[in-house]
Structure 1
């Protein structure tokens, strides 16, 4: 499957490398690559990846029935699917489609305090429920907004190197006209 390099790729690596990183919420419009970027990163960076998609599998909206502590949530997930593996220090829990169960944001504080598992949430149209998500997890999460490809990411997708992308971007920033060769090449 073709994967387009995105700026979020480097961001996710840096987030994981932070010694005291908080749970991460990746928000943005539908179909911009949130889930794909997170899953690609997770598979490369973690021994175990537990994916909970609140839209595709609405049964998981019940995981907070017994409370918001990681032990209760993990116990409920394991009851629903005993194949999911929770290895302390080596597991990413990925709550996808957060907008379908914004209540899970309350658990982010407890996952941060517990510290055994990394957590990333992703969702679209979060503006509707984001006040609730924000009030439930203030101070215990990091936010990242992913948009459609920007100009630099578009150039990467077209196969241009970082140096060419930087050169083109500098043309635009400095309002420097392109020469005939550049015009022919990039048109």
Structure 2
């Protein structure tokens, strides 16, 4: 099985090199590559211990209330490894044992010489992470779907990676990266789908992967710690939401159902805990602090664009287009850009910030807001002439900001624009495949003062 590099590996190595390190808890949706990445990282150590609490023989180690040193002694004895050597201990499927979760605190205090990593496929569903894990005694990291840069690495496109890492991208590399980004959008970012495509180039096999993934996620709902009636609602919401990425949500009667607003909202919260979706409320102000307005309709983001493309049956459509904005009124371009922005950081769960102004005569919606060194940067995913960026210009007019970004299929360029209120601002035109590099563009071309 091909194992390709993931961004989280770099963070794991930085964490492992610290003189003082807390146990690391890796969070993320199921099937995003948490276990594979940690086991690859574990090979850097002279020895490691992998405890999978889905296996009875590992789970039983945490059954009894006994001193921590007895647990540690037994683990090392059963694995046949010496306690004196540098050791990584990986506790997988940790949500299966409250005792194991509680012991993380004492491992940190009593055995600081060991490097402890924990993860779980249904961790967010099984426990309240903020309450279950000892406050101030663990560090969190996040595993996202495969980013575009990781996709290039998986395909062995080393020259494309080198070009991608430059800001701005060299002109000669633009068309190649654009074509590869379209391929990435239709393949998606689920590791098994990327691996299958990298090994075979066969989209039919990729479709089978997504069929199996969606079936697996639906089956997971049966394992959620909720009532049978709530499981039925969650199944309906899950099967419906795959067809409506980027939709502003009305909870009541969602998907043509008879379910009420509270029932549907709770189901979305359940699926969000599993990190299968994110329900984001908009901002209506233009300054700091960034506060979401929960009186407005929220917007739906899904775990991965590839899941949507498969469910909606548009993979062939995505193959042939020149501009992602031409597919389904631009929703795939907008969604994949958000996915790239979120995947840029393995140490935090970046929100999908966006801004709306809902007035009868002058409604506006800016696709994304990105915070860069205290600047609130409005971002529009748009094709065509600059004059179409009315929402972005409204935001600039109502804020103190003087820099906006357009993500599109064209090459990098910079324009000076004049807003409706005659405010002179800088517009950075960036290829949408370079969304993850947006902060570097802003820091170089429009630094904060």
Among 175, 182, 186, which residue is 2:407 paired with? 175
Q: CA deviation at 1:10?
A: 0.2
CA 1:36–1:132: 2 relative to 1, 3 Å = closer
Separation (CA, whole Å) in 1 of partners of 2:58 and 2:15: 26
CA 1:169–1:104: 2 relative to 1, 3 Å = farther
Which deviations, in whole Å up to 9, do the C-alpha atoms of 1:78-106 show, x marking residues without a partner?
Answer: 56x2x431434501111111122243111
Instruction: Name the counterpart of 2:155.
Output: 158
- Whether the aligned pair in 2 keeps the contact of 1:106 and 1:133 (CA below 8 Å) is no
Instruction: Name the counterpart of 2:37.
Output: 37
Instruction: Name the counterpart of 2:3.
Output: 3
SS of alignment partner, residue 91 of structure 2 = strand
- Whether the aligned pair in 2 keeps the contact of 1:66 and 1:73 (CA below 8 Å) is no
1:132-151 to structure 2, matched below 5 A, reads: 134-151=131-148
Moved over 6 A (4+): 168-173
Say which one has the larger Rg.
2
**Which structure has the higher relative contact order (CA within 8 Å, separation 6+)?**
1
Instruction: Name the counterpart of 1:182.
Output: none
TM-score, structure 2 as length reference: 0.36
Among 45, 60, 71, which residue is 1:62 paired with? 60
- Whether the aligned pair in 1 keeps the contact of 2:93 and 2:121 (CA below 8 Å) is yes
Unaligned ranges ≥5, structure 1: 180-187
Q: CA deviation at 1:132?
A: 5.8
Separation (CA, whole Å) in 2 of partners of 1:7 and 1:68: 37
Separation (CA, whole Å) in 1 of partners of 2:168 and 2:152: 10
Among 106, 126, 130, which residue is 1:129 paired with? 126
Equivalent pairs counted in the alignment come to: 175
Do structure 1's residue 91 and structure 2's residue 101 form an aligned pair?
no
SS of alignment partner, residue 407 of structure 2 = coil
Which deviations, in whole Å up to 9, do the C-alpha atoms of 1:17-62 show, x marking residues without a partner?
Answer: 1111100111212221111111111112x1111111011x123222
Instruction: Name the counterpart of 1:17.
Output: 17
SS of alignment partner, residue 149 of structure 1 = coil
Separation (CA, whole Å) in 1 of partners of 2:13 and 2:24: 12
SS of alignment partner, residue 113 of structure 1 = helix
SS of alignment partner, residue 85 of structure 1 = coil
Q: CA deviation at 1:119?
A: 0.7
Q: CA deviation at 1:169?
A: 8.5
SS of alignment partner, residue 51 of structure 2 = strand
Separation (CA, whole Å) in 2 of partners of 1:76 and 1:66: 14
Do structure 1's residue 104 and structure 2's residue 100 form an aligned pair?
yes
CA 1:93–1:154: 2 relative to 1, 3 Å = same
TM-score, structure 1 as length reference: 0.80
Unaligned ranges ≥5, structure 2: 175-336, 338-404, 413-449
